[in-house]
Structure 1
Amino acid sequence: MFERNKLVPEIMVTHLESSLAFWVSCLGLTVAYQRPEDGFAYLDLNGAQVMLEQVDSQAGQWLTAPLTKPFGRGINLQIDVDAVAPILRKLDQAGFPLFRECKDTWYRADNVEVGQREFIVQDPDGYLIRLVERLGERPACSICV
């Protein structure tokens, strides 16, 4: 049986097929299940899960305001992956520009720094997706703690 996470964002999309092409073909998520008649798909990548729902003005969806692009203002979705390089190649081949170039970044978490190779790309509706390859941990700078 498929295991659903306790927190799974459901994002509204304008065209489910275009979004599936991005999320599945470029980012590598798989379709756990879908309801094409409802414009819905539940995606998974090693436990990173997201639901896509196509906007339908007749469906009584939970919209708090009119949707205007870019969608998802104020949020980015981080997905841990084994390696970012293959995803970067697929995005380049598909013509998706990066919102933020790939770089190694270290973030302090109490007395350690957590490293990640990361980049940000926008999906077809403008949601920011941050793909992260973990680089490990190191002691935090003593003057920073």
Structure 2
Amino acid sequence: MFHRNKLVPELMVTDLQSSLAFWVSCLGFKVAYQRPEDGFAYLDLDGAQVMLEQVDASASQWLAAPLARPFGRGINLQVDVPAVGLIIQRLDLAGFSLFRDCTDTWYRVDSVEVGQREFIVQDPDGYLVRLVERLGERLYPSS
């Protein structure tokens, strides 16, 4: 049986097929299941999960306010991947430019730093997605 995570964001999208092309063809997610009649898809990438639901004015959807692009202002979704290089190539071929270029960044976590090669891209509705390739850990330099 398919394992659903305890926290899974559900993103409202304007065109499910365009969003699936981005999330599946470019980022590498797989469709775990979908309900085309509801404009809904549940996606998974090695345990990173997201739900997509197409906006439908006639449906009883949970919207706190009217949607305006870019969607998801104030949030970015971090997704761990084995390597970012191939994903960047697929995004480029599909015509998606990066919101933030790929860079190696080290973040302090207590007495160590964790490294990640990361970039940010916007999905077709403007949600920010940060793809992360783990680089390991190193001791945090004492001050």
User: Normalising by the residue count of structure 1, what TM-score does the alignment of the two structures yield?
Assistant: 0.98
Map 1:98-109 onto structure 2 (within 5 A): 98-109=98-109
Q: CA-to-partner distance for each residue in 1:78-121, whole Å, 9 max, x for gaps?
A: 00000000000000000000000000000000110000000000
* Stretches of structure 1 lacking an aligned partner (at least 5 in a row): none
CA distance in 1, matches of 2:60, 2:124: 23
Q: Percent identity?
A: 78
Q: How far does residue 68 in structure 1 lie from its aligned partner after superposition?
A: 0.4
- Report the AA paired with residue 114 of structure 2: V
Alignment correspondent of 2:71: 71
Q: How far does residue 2 in structure 1 lie from its aligned partner after superposition?
A: 0.4
Map 1:1-145 onto structure 2 (within 5 A): 1-143=1-143
- Report the AA paired with residue 100 of structure 1: R
CA distance in 1, matches of 2:132, 2:43: 18
3-state SS of 1:20 partner: helix
Over aligned residues, Cα RMSD in angstroms? Answer: 0.3
Report runs of 4+ in structure 1 exceeding 6 Å deviation. Answer: none
CA distance in 2, matches of 1:2, 1:60: 27
Q: CA-to-partner distance for each residue in 1:51-101, whole Å, 9 max, x for gaps?
A: 000000111101000000000000000000000000000000000000000
CA distance in 2, matches of 1:5, 1:142: 37
- Report the AA paired with residue 74 of structure 2: G
Q: How far does residue 141 in structure 1 lie from its aligned partner after superposition?
A: 1.5
3-state SS of 2:88 partner: helix
Number of equivalent positions: 143
